Structure 1
Amino acid sequence: MKHTLRAFALGLLTATSLLAFAYSQQDLNEAKATELSKEDAKALLKEKGYVVLTENKWTKLTEEASSVKETNTNTQDKEETDQKATQDDTSESSKVNAYKLSIQEGMVPEDISQALAENNIIEDAEAFRQYLTENEFSRYIQIGEYTVVDQMSFLEIAKIITR
């Protein structure tokens, strides 16, 4: 038993010595060579489909987006007012069906298209779901409440719910 324990300890000492020797012989420049420069990192990110922005550019874009959002809200309010006025002027037979779509966290395109179909905004829920998926609108759906009417095209509805 004593010899077995000594042999085991000698094996551990030998393995540790070999690992220490290999580590000491490793070239430190080799490890630094794998670090990417800023340009290489940007190129790699762009290749993967990401956009690289400085903090200033990001701030400007978010400010522009918020101002566009406010403009769109004002425009939508005007359009809704115009639509309501138009609806009042039209006869009962050509009445436009409007629906306030509420998109909540966790909703998927199937839920949204089903809600629109149930409220007679669209005729085919599956076709609208496929449209959102195939045209990559499903990735950009935003949480919120949106007013949609039955005379809108799939593209118009998709643009509204993706802002």
Structure 2
Amino acid sequence: MSKNGFQSFAAGMIAATSVLSATFFLSGNAPTADEVALQKEVTETDVKDYLAKSGQMTITNEEYETLIKAKDQAANKEQQKATEKTAETEVKEQEDKPVEIKKYSVQIREGMTTGEVSDLLEQNGIITSAKDFNQYLIKGNYHREVQLGTFEVMQGMSFEELTEAITR
């Protein structure tokens, strides 16, 4: 671009800026209809009328707090009743069920380790932890006294009773 082209461009920019500035400052700051609506103060009656039209109502903070407390109390009562019913049901079910004690004939063969015997007892529901029973046998040096044969054991026997049964 030539020197004259730049000068013309600059003059056009100055003229456009002047026109926009004059329009802005001379137009005044008359508020629009939206601004007038926003500036109007909303009164309590306006709010109540709006709520009534939309099928709602107002309550005070005190009324709200009272309603919340009543709701919490009702929920607590329901939960307490449900807990009591559950407890009663469990007690009745336990009373109605005959207690079944599992019996098992464990057969100890030559070459079996105490770990294998413990696993058999756990698999058949006689003990809850094969690892714990095996450690009990080893710590008490009972693992050397385990006898070959078939032994009757029952669910609920203590480790000591089980050890006595298989070591004779």
Q: TM-score range by the shorter chain?
A: 0.3 to 0.5
- Output the TM-score relative to the length of structure 1: 0.44
Indicate the structure (1 or 2) with the bigger Cα radius of gyration. 2
